[in-house]
Amino acid sequence: MLRGIAHYERTHQLWAGFHDDQARAMTDPSWLRDKPWDGVISRHTTPAMAAICAEQGIPLVDLDDSPVIPGVPKIRPDNVALGHLGAEHFLERGHRHFAFAGFSSEVWSCERRAGFTEALGLAGHTCDLLEMKYPGDDRPVWDPGQLELLAAWLKRLPKPVGVLACMDLRAQQIMAAALEAELLVPDEVAILGINNDPTRCELCYPSLSSVAPNTFQSGYRAAEVLAGLLAGQDHAGLDERVEPIGVVTRRSTDVLAISDRTVATALGFIRERACQAITVDEVVRHAHTSRSQLERKFRDHLGRTPQAEIRRVQVAKIRQLLQETDFPLKKIAELAGFEHVEYMCVLFKRMTGSSPGAYRKLNHGGNSQSADRPKAR
């Protein structure tokens, strides 16, 4: 959001911005009287803050995903669309069983649930729900007592199941509960969050897939609306929903929904070890089966061999490293499990149609908002 605001400022206005990173305006709205502010964009807007701004004649734009405060223009995510994208993500991976974990007391969570269940319903599927009230100020959002409840719920669900959490923090809790219940993620329980918070998503194990709202566009539009207010435009009744970018796929959903435990176990091992130069024989031993049986099951469920799956995971790793790092090809080959960089380059071009150098030139940029579908413009 801040980048979107800054981008608008650089291209349209010459504003001197102050970032209230201590949230003083939220905890003590009277602080807004200390300086002659020309305008305010708020991520955590309160009625008291809105009253102070109205009293001081300060234009205010609200970015909080909460009910509208009368007279205050609001920019917020399209929560129904976020839920729709979550359903589409699971459906594309062949899931037949679905669940949603949210907070019944929060409008944004209910909207995300509505989008998820609506999209599933259109595809002829139902959804298991687990909802509770959002924790109040007297107890933390991460309540250790919920772990047992979540684990018991996950155990009851038919497997494999795709679970959409109303936000990334809730998805983290579900991930911890799956570990407690000794359930494989994503093989038995695929977990998808919402908000694409890199800190939460990347530090999870396995890393958390998440539906990414277009926060940059939200910030940009907020700055645009504020500029309009400063120019005398009337945006008092504005309640604008910003379309999401798409799903950022990480390891928590990066699997096809497969009920066969042998194949699921083998796939999990391949995802863990493919970049350590493993062999098919090692996969066979880990899955406690014969090579012929594993080959047959892979062809039945995936349409490819275990060796092809190992290469697919390695190529995905190469793509990631080309996009997100400046590592030389020799280093990338080492990290992806190839002894010879020349062989890696030949394999990459055969599987992608592009050389590593050409792919990096086209895709490099370290964009953390990459998604399953093109970005909104």
Write down the pLDDT at residue 141: 58
**Per-residue pLDDT tens over the stretch 262-272:** 888 898 889 88
pTM exceeding 0.75: no
The reply to whether 375 falls in a domain is no
Query: Based on the domain organization, do 229 and 281 belong to the same domain?
Result: no
Query: Based on the domain organization, do 208 and 234 belong to the same domain?
Result: no
The reply to whether 248 falls in a domain is no
CA angle, corner 234, sides to 229 and 236, nearest 5? Answer: 95
The reply to whether 101 falls in a domain is yes
Domain count, the chain: 3
The reply to whether 277 falls in a domain is yes
Look up the domain containing 144 and give its range. Answer: 79-213
**Per-residue pLDDT tens over the stretch 290-323:** 999 999 999 887 788 999 989 988 998 998 899 8
Give the whole-angstrom CA distance, residue 82 versus residue 104.
17
Query: Based on the domain organization, do 196 and 236 belong to the same domain?
Result: no
CA angle, corner 92, sides to 87 and 97, nearest 5? Answer: 55
Query: Based on the domain organization, do 95 and 64 belong to the same domain?
Result: no
Q: Which two tokens stand for residue 100?
A: 């949603």
Q: Which of 311, 304, 325 is nearest to 279 (CA)?
A: 311
Query: Based on the domain organization, do 208 and 235 belong to the same domain?
Result: no
Query: Based on the domain organization, do 128 and 209 belong to the same domain?
Result: yes
Write down the pLDDT at residue 136: 60
Query: Based on the domain organization, do 91 and 16 belong to the same domain?
Result: no
Write down the pLDDT at residue 302: 77
Report how far apart the first and last C-alpha atoms of the chain are (Å, whole number).
Answer: 16
Write down the pLDDT at residue 276: 92
250: left (phi over 0), alpha (psi -120 to 50) or beta: beta
**Per-residue pLDDT tens over the stretch 27-68:** 888 888 888 899 999 998 999 999 999 999 999 999 999 889
Give the whole-angstrom CA distance, residue 107 versus residue 126.
21
Name the stretches of the chain with pLDDT < 50: 365-377
Phi, psi of 346 (to 5 degrees): -65, -45
The 3-class SS string of the chain reads CHHHHHHHHHHHCCCCCCCCCCCHHHHCHHHHHHCCCCCEEECCCCHHHHHHHHHHCCCEEECCCCCCCCCCCEEEECHHHHHHHHHHHHHHCCCCCEEEEEECCCHHHHHHHHHHHHHHHHCCCCCEEEEECCCCCCCCCCCCCHHHHHHHHHHHCCCCEEEEECCHHHHHHHHHHHHHCCCCCCCCEEEEEECCCHHHHHHCCCCCEEEECCHHHHHHHHHHHHHHHHCCCCCCCCEEEECCCEEECCCCCCCCCCCCHHHHHHHHHHHHHHHHCCCHHHHHHHHCCCHHHHHHHHHHHCCCCHHHHHHHHHHHHHHHHHHHCCCCHHHHHHHHCCCCHHHHHHHHHHHHCCCHHHHHHHHCCCCCCCCCCCCCC
Give the whole-angstrom CA distance, residue 372 versus residue 249.
7
Query: Based on the domain organization, do 271 and 342 belong to the same domain?
Result: yes
CATH code, domain carrying 55: 3.40.50.2300
The reply to whether 153 falls in a domain is yes
Query: Based on the domain organization, do 209 and 223 belong to the same domain?
Result: no
CATH code, domain carrying 328: 1.10.10.60
Write down the pLDDT at residue 140: 55
Query: Based on the domain organization, do 41 and 144 belong to the same domain?
Result: no
The reply to whether 327 falls in a domain is yes
Helices 280-287 & 291-301 angle (0-180, nearest 10): 90
The reply to whether 256 falls in a domain is no
The reply to whether 376 falls in a domain is no
Query: Based on the domain organization, do 219 and 267 belong to the same domain?
Result: no
Query: Based on the domain organization, do 317 and 343 belong to the same domain?
Result: yes
